[in-house]
Amino acid sequence: MNTDNHGFKKHLLRHETVLLLVVAVEWFYFNSVGPRFGSLDNSFDILRHSVEIGLLALVMTPIILTGGIDLSVGSLLGLCAITFGKLWRDAGLPIPVAAGCTLVIGALAGGLNATLITKLRLPPLIVTLGTFSLFRGLAEAITRGADTFTNFPAAFLFLGQERWLGIPAQAPLFMIVAVAVWLLVHRTTLGRSFRAIGFAPEGARYAGLPVERRIAMVYVLAGVVAALAAIIYTARLGQAKADAGTGYELFAITAVVLGGTSIFGGIGSVHGTLLGVAAIAILNNGLVHARQPREVAGMLTGLLLILALSSSVVPKMLASLRARRQISSANIHQTKPA
């Protein structure tokens, strides 16, 4: 190995760099087969369609960094959409007030997850599996599975469907959250503490970190942002329904893991997550332009995920295999003369 360009190579082999190339390959491929794929309209469509899952993936990143997981965000999106609709239509609150209350409800729901995880010391997987059913069940109970909220004022639908200064109206909100989460994870001591907790929660505790409070924080954040996603989702569809956001938690987790965040915590980045979201969103949209069945998207996403994960494991395995072979061949050399 040449040690001169070692640093450069290391940078090149970084997961995010590989993923960026995958995104670029996707983009150029679909652009070459779909005449309208590269148009500004379509790029904005991709952005518009990935805002909700993107938001969930953004806040899922710090959770997974701490070694946790939140399966309830998709269900919470549904519950928040319903409560938002209920507050506006039935309680007669103005849209901004209803939205504010919905964010508070999101925070409370996230707080419930946080309390169960930190106070009762239950595994996040189990807690959020429970609230996954609880939140969706509540949404269905409130609407009895049939009631939907529509006829929102045009000024509110603008947020989900129109353009503001030439870009989709929800894009600035997404960018603000993306920058905020990126700064939180990569530029603050809080972010560093999430990673420390993910690496070794006991170690972090002995180092004097308020582990419980930090963990609680990421789940509350997820609740608030899921509520924000619910509001944007409602504006995009012009309808709030109990099954809003079904399955979004898995898309978000997929994007995070594809983005290079270790499911065991400790390692990962927010820009990786954004690339993961982009890779999946471009695939989903591009296949339509390539006149391919969209089911292929699920297959390719899975393939991409498996490849991305194994790409970091395979070289290590090969290296250890090579090392073992060297040792054994050395042993043979040693034993031969005897």
Partner 1 sequence: MKKLISVLSLAALAFAAGCGKSPDSSSGSPESGKKLIIALMPKSKGNAYFISCKKGADKAAAELGVELLFDGPTDPDPAKQNEIVENWITLGVDAIAAACENKEGISTALRKAKAKGIKVITYDADALPDAREFFVNQATPEGIGYTLMDEAARLVGNEGEFAIITASLTAANMIEWQKHIEARRSSKYPNLKMVALRPCDDLKDKAQSEATALLSANPNLKLIMAICSPAVPGAAEAVKQAGKTGKVKVIGLGLPNENKRYVHDGVTDSVILWNTEELGWLTVQAAAAVVKGQLKPGDKSFKPGATEYEIQGDSILLGKPFIFNKSNIDQFDF
- Which window, 28-36, 55-63, 124-132, 207-215, contacts partner 1 (CB under 8 A)? 28-36
Tokens of 193: 């503490």
User: Is residue 31 at the binding interface for partner 1, with CB under 8 A as the rule?
Assistant: no
Answer for which of 56, 220, 244, 282 binds partner 1 (CB under 8 A) is: 244
Nearest approach in angstroms of CB 25 to partner 1 is 6
Q: What is the DSSP letter of 149?
A: B
| Contact (CB, 8 A) for 194 and 66 | yes
| Buried b / exposed e along 157-190 (16+ C-beta atoms within 10 A) | bebbbeeeeeebbbbebbeebbeebbebbeeeee
Residue showing tokens 């894009």: 171
Measured CA to CA, the distance from residue 135 to residue 138 in angstroms comes to 5
Answer for which of 100, 130, 238, 266 binds partner 1 (CB under 8 A) is: 238
- Which window, 94-102, 260-268, 269-277, 305-313, contacts partner 1 (CB under 8 A)? 305-313
User: Is residue 93 at the binding interface for partner 1, with CB under 8 A as the rule?
Assistant: no
Give the phi and the psi of residue 163 in degrees, each rounded to 5.
Answer: -110, 145
191/260 with CB nearer partner 1: 260
User: Is residue 144 at the binding interface for partner 1, with CB under 8 A as the rule?
Assistant: no
CA distances from 287 to 32, 33, 51, 100, 295 (A): 12, 10, 19, 38, 9
User: Is residue 29 at the binding interface for partner 1, with CB under 8 A as the rule?
Assistant: yes
Residue 1 CB: number of other CB atoms within 10 A?
Answer: 6
Nearest approach in angstroms of CB 165 to partner 1 is 20
Nearest approach in angstroms of CB 39 to partner 1 is 7
Residues that bind partner 1 (CB under 8 A): 9, 12-13, 17-18, 21-22, 25-26, 29, 33-36, 39, 41-42, 45, 48-49, 52, 148, 150-151, 157, 161, 233, 236-239, 241, 243-248, 285, 287-296, 298, 300, 303-304, 307-308, 311-312, 314-315
